[in-house]
Amino acid sequence: MAVQFSEAALKEYEEIVTRYPDKKATLLPALWLAQREFGYVSDEVLEYIAQLVGMPAVKVYEVAEFYTMFHKKKPGKYHLQLCQTISCYLRGAEDLRSYIQETLQVLPGETSADGLFSFQLVECLGSCHTAPVIKINDEYYDSLTVEKLDAIIRHLKKNSSGEDHGV
Amino acid sequence: MEFELQLTKRFSIPNCHTLEVALNHGAYRSFEKLFSMKPEAIVNEVIASKLRGRGGAAFPTGLKWSFVPKDTALPVYLCVNADESEPGTFVDRYILEYDPHLLIEGIVCAAYAIKSHDVYVYIRGEYVRPYMIFKKALDEAYRSGFAGHNIKNSGYDVHIWIHRGAGAYICGEETALLESIEGKKGQPRIKPPFPAVEGLFGCPTIINNVKTISHIPWIIEHGGEAFARIGTSESTGTMLFGISGHVNNPGFWELPFGMRVPEFLEKYAQGVKGGSLKALFPGGTSTAVMTADECADLYLSYESMRAHGTMLGSGGLIVMNEHADMLHALRTITRFYAEESCGQCTPCREGTFWIHRLLEKMVRGEGTTKELDLLLEIADNMEGKTICALAAACAIPVRSCVVKFRQDFEKYVKPVFVPVAAAAEKMLGDDAVPF
């Protein structure tokens, strides 16, 4: 099999196994670990995880599909997750959506041509009092306006060379 | 209004997520009393406190704990629900971020009470920072003997593991949460058996919300009766109320139950932003919407909400001003449920999808008055006809919005097309008798 965890990741997985009385319960942590290792969970990765956890590949595929945070394809360097649920909607999330679509030329589910930005519409991020909110990789950006988002995007574009992201 | 903060008492102390600072401000003080009491006595204190589950269902916590079979040979599990995903709800993560040791203290207390040695804290996948902070705090607690083996020489072990979700609202439903821990899709289980009897890995399991668990140390220290004296007769203690949407000062506050909603709106949220109040969801979008008139004598208590035909839910209030359009708002709300339905039950999978589609159609100006009634019919065919409450959680806002704000929807829909009239017109041409 082509893909495989690094030694460090394998060690981490072995520790995870000790947390549960049933190895199948390690599936979600294993998928998180895989996403961290490989950046996304391709079919090949899912087959590897199935073997690791000891489950049929179809079950692993089913679970990876069910949860929205597992990427089936390579996300952009900056993965934009725009909350579109009620409180964000009431405070202007639709303007942010138009801004992203027009400025970065990406539709939900797409990645920009330069591979820098991928765009995903998400449901309630649990930060309704600081709406509208966008999550970029692991960080929340609060109380946004189009101007503030524009400044963030410009900043990310400027800093895109060199520094690593870590999805 | 004099009252003692229970959940947020250390929120303003800098670096209180570290063990050292938390200890200097009273963290883990309940352990001395805890381990001097019998587990059954703790359960009785929680029953006396009348504490109700803060996740939304408001089930009495002590009663839930008492359902764990006595002297079971199986391990008992405690699961902490930090999957906070209800639209309008955002306070649990602050307990994880600002005072993780309060939660760990509560976990040990609750685990001891239900005789559990194994705890899983289910944190929603999106909450990366709360997860990191909580994990660090947990490591510190382990190293200093506040969690793990032989806690503070009590002879009692509590192992606490974090299980991260990965983006699924339904995993906040307690049996879906168990499925998710077991490595499956988060699809709710048919009850009975209830988790207290047959839950995680087939063993007795108690699932409690972060806030519920975080109240336990205070109850142990001060006694259940002292807790029951706070708030109202049916809604005891304090609650973390969050408010968002069209208000000047969105945020969250810990308050005793019983404040009048307009007072909360004025005093804490500093009034409605951009116009007068039009509508309010009292406890996340899964609760029946209230009109401005209904809000006038609405109180932040379970009984007042029930008397008004709605629910306090998770305590996340969402406010809409007079310019808000209910059709667009409801379309947004129903998209959430259509996206988040786990797909297991047909009335929910199809109902949430078709309701959302009909609303999209109305937004485009292609809907009819007949379809407005169809929305209500679909809602009736969803509620109470599925394994879990997600279908009802969609049906309730649909029904309340369409009934209470029908004029907002009628602006967009065309009168119903009468085929007979059209056919007659076609047959008789210009000589047709107008109906």
Q: Are residues A30 and A91 in the same domain?
A: no
Note whether B239-321 and B326-410 share their fold: no
* Predicted pLDDT at B435: 43
* Predicted pLDDT at A2: 82
Residue bearing tokens 């969609």? B394
Q: How many CB pairs under 8 A join A and B?
A: 145
Mark which residues 65-94 of B lie under 8 Å from A by CB. Answer: 75, 84-90, 92-93
- Chain B residue numbers with beta carbons less than 8 Å from the beta carbon of A25 are 181-183, 201
CATH architecture assignment, domain B239-321: Roll (3.10)
A164 in a structural domain: no
The domain B326-410 is placed in CATH, from the list 2.40.50.140, 1.20.1440.230, 3.30.70.2860, 3.90.198.10, at: 1.20.1440.230
- Across the interface, of B127, B246, B281, the residue whose CB is closest to A126 is B127
A163 in a structural domain: no
How do beta strands B238-245 and B277-281 pair?
Answer: unpaired
How do beta strands A139-141 and A78-83 pair?
Answer: unpaired
Q: Are residues A45 and A110 in the same domain?
A: no
Give the total number of structural domains in chain A: 2
- Across the interface, of A19, A28, A126, the residue whose CB is closest to B90 is A126
Mark which residues 269-298 of B lie under 8 Å from A by CB. Answer: 281, 285
How do beta strands A134-136 and A139-141 pair?
Answer: antiparallel
How do beta strands B251-256 and A117-122 pair?
Answer: unpaired
- Contact call for B245 and A128, based on CB within 8 A: yes
- Across the interface, of B88, B127, B128, the residue whose CB is closest to A87 is B88
Q: Are residues A87 and A153 in the same domain?
A: yes
Q: Are residues A55 and A91 in the same domain?
A: no
A51 in a structural domain: yes
Q: Are residues A32 and A57 in the same domain?
A: yes
**B336 in A contact zone (CB under 8 Å):** yes
| pLDDT tens track for A123-150 | 999 999 999 999 999 999 999 999 999 9
Q: Are residues A62 and A99 in the same domain?
A: no
Cα B62 to chain centroid distance, Å, stands at: 19
- Contact call for B336 and A86, based on CB within 8 A: yes
Q: Give the SS3 label for residue B252.
A: strand
- Contact call for B332 and A89, based on CB within 8 A: yes
Q: Are residues A83 and A154 in the same domain?
A: yes
Task: Name the interface residues of A facing B (CB cutoff 8 Å).
Answer: 19-22, 24-29, 31-32, 53, 55, 62-63, 66-70, 81, 84-87, 89-91, 122-131, 135, 138-140
Q: Domain of A120: which CATH number?
A: 3.40.30.10
**B330 in A contact zone (CB under 8 Å):** no
Q: Are residues A86 and A36 in the same domain?
A: no
- Contact call for A55 and B183, based on CB within 8 A: yes
Q: Which residue of B has its CA nearest to A19?
A: B161
| CA B83 – CA B168 distance, rounded (Å) | 9
Q: Are residues A84 and A62 in the same domain?
A: no
- Angle between helix axes A27-38 and A43-53 (nearest 10 degrees) is 140
CATH architecture assignment, domain B19-228: 3-Layer(aba) Sandwich (3.40)
| CA A65 – CA B339 distance, rounded (Å) | 13
Which of A25, A43, A66 is the endpoint of a domain? A66
A144 in a structural domain: yes
- Contact call for B89 and A28, based on CB within 8 A: no
- Contact call for A68 and B168, based on CB within 8 A: yes
Residues (pLDDT < 50) of chain B are 432-435
Instruction: Give B137: exposed, middle or buried? Use CB within 10 Å, 0-12, 13-18, 19+.
Output: buried
b (16+ CB within 10 A) / e for B306-343: eebebbbbbbbbbbbbeebbbbbbbbbbbbbbbbbbbe
- Across the interface, of B75, B87, B167, the residue whose CB is closest to A85 is B87
Q: Domain of A28: which CATH number?
A: 1.10.10
B281 strand-pairing partners: B318
* Predicted pLDDT at B14: 97
| CA B42 – CA B109 distance, rounded (Å) | 8
| CA B401 – CA B409 distance, rounded (Å) | 9
Q: Nearest C-alpha of chain A: how many angstroms from B67?
A: 23
Q: Are residues A149 and A87 in the same domain?
A: yes
| pLDDT tens track for B234-255 | 999 999 999 999 999 999 999 9
A15 in a structural domain: yes
Q: Are residues A89 and A112 in the same domain?
A: yes
A167 in a structural domain: no
CB atoms within 10 A of CB B40: 13
- Best residue in A33, A62, A85 for a mutation probing chain B (most B CBs within 10 Å): A85
Going from the C-alpha of B13 to that of each of B9, B10, B98, B310, the distances in angstroms are: 9, 5, 9, 36
| CA B381 – CA B334 distance, rounded (Å) | 15
Q: Are residues A36 and A13 in the same domain?
A: yes
Handedness of CA A60, A65, A71, A72 (dihedral sign): positive
**B105 in A contact zone (CB under 8 Å):** no
A140 in a structural domain: yes
User: Mean pLDDT over all residues of chain B?
Assistant: 96
Q: Give the SS3 label for residue B260.
A: strand
- Chain B residue numbers with beta carbons less than 8 Å from the beta carbon of A63 are 183-185
Cα B43 to chain centroid distance, Å, stands at: 23
- Across the interface, of B201, B243, B250, the residue whose CB is closest to A22 is B201
Q: Please check whether residue B138 is in contact with residue B19, taking contact to mean a CB–CB distance below 8 angstroms.
A: no
Look up the domain containing A46 and give its range: 7-66
Which of A46, A66, A86 is the endpoint of a domain? A66
CA atoms within 13 A on the CB side of B70: 4
Domain extent listing, chain B:
19-228, 239-321, 326-410
A71 in a structural domain: no
